[in-house]
Structure 1
């Protein structure tokens, strides 16, 4: 008996139909923007306009004697890149990087950014890691399963963290991660694996100064 081989489009349609079947009884309770309306349309959901209260977030300094690193990754149609910055309790910058990458899934790039930064920071006595990559942070903390394509990166991250006596990792919203966000952009003007602090662009210096005591509005 010959097994029936399904066309990949048929398999995809079957998967989507199962998803739609599981979601049809749900309502998308969120802001009525184009992205949410499109999601509701694709999966046959009722979209209810929700109220979202603005909140504030900020970059918090590490404790005295600690280093904090912030990382981010960026991906568009043509390019991919990662960036990171290491600061002390006085907001003084000790290291930073901005590196182009081959195009990959964003969570893999974000994990790669964390690996690059903790490797760079290992000899500088850092204790805290902060990233606006929620998936990456939860994968490292083992709250979520690691995507199979990123397992090798996760192994390297954990091996590097094992060399550090004390470390913490946390998530920060993008609005409070402006310095790393700046360095992760493909258009960043200082692409290097270890950027000398005396070559810091003025725009980044302004962000670092603003971070020291500014709260950012998250809509």
Structure 2
């Protein structure tokens, strides 16, 4: 695939992958069929991110609120996560992808937690793309966990800054997203990277996640290139 580099290219793109269920319902298929197609879309977007020169890609794969879904659907999502990890890990490694997991991974049980840790260790030295998978993740919980770390470390209130607080978040060492994309037409960020997206450009598309591909990703980056980012400052 040729490299197509629109300017400026966002260093970090975060995506709320939404619409798997509606994709399946529109085709009179079970919801798990939508999740399977959504997993295929993940591969396409990882490849597209590499081709476009994006350095960090964060995917909201399973929110902390997703545990409230019917047990059968949670089991299907967990199975697909295992399948994706086992089937894609070697290729991700060969492509130079570094996998990082954020969220309460231990809720998936010791077996999957161990597989996730092994996958991170295997890909730790790769530098072409950092793929951050948010699993059992919630933005509010991330902020609360960081506050607890600060308290446990005995940090004085006057010593707490935005910079050292950010270092206590799950995304420590990862730059804040330049661009946040949400598929499926919903216009909210659903407790995703609340601190980190303070100055992200937001892009909402009606395309359902299973239909989101390289062309849609490139179009999102083209739109990003037209944005004037001021970070609260006045226009020049």
TM-score range, shorter chain: 0.3 to 0.5
Q: TM-score, normalised by structure 1?
A: 0.34
Q: TM-score, normalised by structure 2?
A: 0.32
Question: Which structure would you say has the larger RCO, counting Cα contacts within 8 Å and 6 or more residues apart?
Answer: 2
Greater helix percent: which structure?
2
Greater strand percent: which structure?
1
Larger Rg belongs to: 1
